[in-house]
Structure 1
Amino acid sequence: MPVQLYAAALETSNQSIASFLEPNDYAEVSTAIINAHIAGKTYRPDANNPSEFSEVSTPNFVKRFALSNVALKLQVQPEWSLGLIYDQPYTTDISYAFKPVLSSSAQLVNAVNFKTDSDNLTALLGYQPNLSWNYYGGVSYQNLDTQLQISGQSMGLLMDYSANAENDSAMGWLAGISYQIPAYALKTSLTYRSKIRHHPLLQEQIFSTPTILALNLSAARHINIETPQSVNFDFQSGINPNNLIYTSLRWVNWEKFKIISPLLSTTEPVSLVDYKKISSPAHWV
């Protein structure tokens, strides 16, 4: 049974080019609906005695969303092949709200809404000098759209922060090599994808309830977001006429993926999204 392990919560695709390595002409279409349930435990103040707390379950954090993958490979000549792959590598839709008093919707302590959408179209060109070797490269065109809303209450004052990174498009590249021995069902590939640098306009706003003009701020500035570089290694081999062994390893440099707020950054940068250490998502089968 295949098992997928991803260390980064934003990653929803392993950006595989396996469809491009299929023999002859090839096409595939797949769709998935993600209906996850992620919840936990927290403490809620008692409605009549705020100094006493009781443990309660949080609501589901994750909203339902859909993912699609489309691939087309054409063997235009015995030595040359063309391919197109569409996927959505970075997607999330998280919503959380905590109210201290069940009967009072106005007493909101904190809430977070975070949504990221991406579309990635990869064009590939491959050269096969013989039946064993395949050298390939190409370009990726990527769209990225991110929204974040945070609400919090302190000393009776409700503060709301919103950030909207408008849809931005940017280009990257990839290159790789594949070796196979069809008689033994042996197939390996190593693929590198470059980072993609986005420069979206980030619109930020802070406002308070009740209104305090000194705390109500807004800004609109272009920022830098780098979707990370990655390396994929795939291996497959026949072990007998009826069985295969195969695995896939993936490394992603998440350490460079950050979203920094110009509005909140004063003496030092304030990150809205930040991976403190390098994560290495892997896909094991």
Structure 2
Amino acid sequence: MKSNQKYLITAILSVLASQAYAAGLERSPQQIDALFEQGTYAEVGYTHISPDVTGDDSSGHSLSDMAEDYQSLNYAVKTDLTPSLRLAVIYDEPFGAKVKFDGTNNFIATDRPAADAKTRVDVQSKNITALLGYNLNKNVMIYAGPALQEIEANVHLRGLTYAANSGYNNSFDDMAIGWVAGFSYAKPEKGILASLTYRSEIEHKTTIQEDVPLADKLGMDYSHYNQGSITTPESVNLNMQAGLNMTTAVFAKVRYVPWSNFAYYPPILKASTVAALGKGLPLVDYSDDQTAVEIGLGKRLAPKLAIAVSGLWDSGAGDPAPTLGPVDGYWGAGLAAKYNFNEKLAFSVGGRYMWFGDAKGETSDRRIVGDFKDNTGYIVGMKLSYSAK
């Protein structure tokens, strides 16, 4: 296999590698494909994600689509510092949630002004990863580096669903550092590239603003601004590809995230539920770990055009699921294409369609408050890349 075909699948599929609609709060599988590009490389990508999640609340009211569309950008640059040492800087938006309930249902408060009556959640994140890769020999590379992560959240819980805590508000904005490490094996003449990447958890210690109706009802005297923490989970990514012939390759990607270890306990919510129930409740947690798998085939149709098709499966993070993302994993199908304008400049475009698993929606005190079935979603993305080998 010619050296310029070595990363055929990586090049095609990376248009969508940075985005997904996955378990927990995850919005990106945090791939590092740019590190494996040859020579000097840069890319900029845009993704639009449109989940459609509907159902019924515990009183039988219909719930219109509560998962709002969202967009994200991703960037990456990579260069060779020496023949054996390379540097990649990668930006993505790995965690998020965008939820808003409309209509007449148990997620809408009837005792508040219309502008403040809806349950809504907006979580955003930004992540910059810097990786140094060192070639131990012609086949094996080790790599590691820091990851700087910012996460911002605004949560507003309303309606009968949240009982005594209808009217609860939570917000914070923080930046913290973690790390990434891994190794890869490449055999260009066979079109083989495999990598195993570990990404650490990142603990955010920050000031959390809370308005807690339950604490007000209990007569607690509390500050609305307190120190607390939230820890985004660790993860492991395994990527593999192999050439079948000069123009065709197969690939597989596996991602594991221990979401069952994740729980966010805002300080006053925890204190008030301890006082009322004898135990502190989280704002959100998950019962299962997530495993996501993508398997596919790439084909170069012409010197300047290549395509790839793939099948996807995500285990989800448990059913019942929190109301900010009430799906239990998904099955999906993907299609992507890359067109090279010339030896240096290329444009990629792709899409994925997902069939979400049915799930019961629950609150953190384990009350079932909704039933979500037969839901789907799609992703479209595009990327412009520059490569000087």
C-alpha distance in 2, partners of 1:145/1:284?
33
Partner of 2:285: 274
* Contact 2:24–2:259 (Cα < 8 Å) also in 1: no
Partner of 2:324: none
Superposed displacement of residue 62, structure 1: 1.6
* Contact 1:38–1:60 (Cα < 8 Å) also in 2: yes
State the percentage of identical aligned residues: 30
1:233 counterpart letter in structure 2: L
Partner of 1:91: 96
Say yes or no: does 1:121 pair with 2:120. Answer: no
Partner of 2:226: 221
Superposed displacement of residue 100, structure 1: 5.5
Quick one: structure 1 residues 181 and 253, their matched pair in 2 at CA, closer, same or farther if it must change by over 3 Å?
same
Unmatched 5+ residue regions in structure 2?
1-11, 297-389
Partner of 1:188: 194
* Contact 1:206–1:217 (Cα < 8 Å) also in 2: no
Partner of 1:50: none
1:37 counterpart letter in structure 2: D
Give the TM-score of the pair, scaled to structure 2. 0.62
* Contact 2:21–2:49 (Cα < 8 Å) also in 1: no
2:224 alignment partner, SS class: strand
Partner of 1:70: 75
Superposed displacement of residue 34, structure 1: 2.1
Unmatched 5+ residue regions in structure 1?
45-54
C-alpha distance in 1, partners of 2:164/2:288?
35
Say yes or no: does 1:30 pair with 2:45. Answer: yes
* Contact 2:57–2:105 (Cα < 8 Å) also in 1: no
Give the TM-score of the pair, scaled to structure 1. 0.83
Partner of 2:175: 169
Deviations 1:4-44 (CA, angstroms, capped at 9, x unpaired)? 97651421111111110111111111111223322123476
Deviates more, 1:251-260 or 1:273-282: 273-282
Partner of 2:255: 250
Instruction: Name the one with the larger helix percent.
Output: 2
1:272 counterpart letter in structure 2: L
1:116 counterpart letter in structure 2: V
Superposed displacement of residue 263, structure 1: 1.6
C-alpha distance in 1, partners of 2:154/2:250?
42
Task: Determine which of 101, 121, 146 is the counterpart of 1:139.
Answer: 146
Partner of 1:178: 184
Partner of 2:264: 259
Superposed displacement of residue 280, structure 1: 2.4
2:89 alignment partner, SS class: strand
- Tell me: higher relative CO, structure 1 or 2? Use CA pairs within 8 A at least 6 residues apart: 2
Quick one: structure 1 residues 230 and 100, their matched pair in 2 at CA, closer, same or farther if it must change by over 3 Å?
closer
Quick one: structure 1 residues 97 and 157, their matched pair in 2 at CA, closer, same or farther if it must change by over 3 Å?
farther
C-alpha distance in 1, partners of 2:64/2:57?
10
* Contact 2:62–2:105 (Cα < 8 Å) also in 1: no
Superposed displacement of residue 224, structure 1: 1.8
2:137 counterpart letter in structure 1: N
Quick one: structure 1 residues 86 and 268, their matched pair in 2 at CA, closer, same or farther if it must change by over 3 Å?
same
Superposed displacement of residue 79, structure 1: 0.7
C-alpha distance in 2, partners of 1:228/1:206?
26
Quick check: which has more Rg, 1 or 2? 1
C-alpha distance in 1, partners of 2:256/2:87?
26
Quick one: structure 1 residues 134 and 158, their matched pair in 2 at CA, closer, same or farther if it must change by over 3 Å?
closer
Say yes or no: does 1:237 pair with 2:242. Answer: yes
RMSD: 3.1
Superposed displacement of residue 269, structure 1: 2.0
Partner of 2:33: 18
Deviations 1:253-276 (CA, angstroms, capped at 9, x unpaired)? 212222113222223221111012
* Contact 1:234–1:249 (Cα < 8 Å) also in 2: yes
Deviates more, 1:2-11 or 1:136-145: 2-11
* Contact 1:139–1:172 (Cα < 8 Å) also in 2: yes
Quick one: structure 1 residues 135 and 213, their matched pair in 2 at CA, closer, same or farther if it must change by over 3 Å?
closer
Deviations 1:215-255 (CA, angstroms, capped at 9, x unpaired)? 89753211121111111111010012221000110111212
Superposed displacement of residue 144, structure 1: 0.8
2:49 counterpart letter in structure 1: I
Partner of 1:112: 119
2:148 counterpart letter in structure 1: Y
C-alpha distance in 2, partners of 1:261/1:158?
13
C-alpha distance in 1, partners of 2:165/2:235?
41
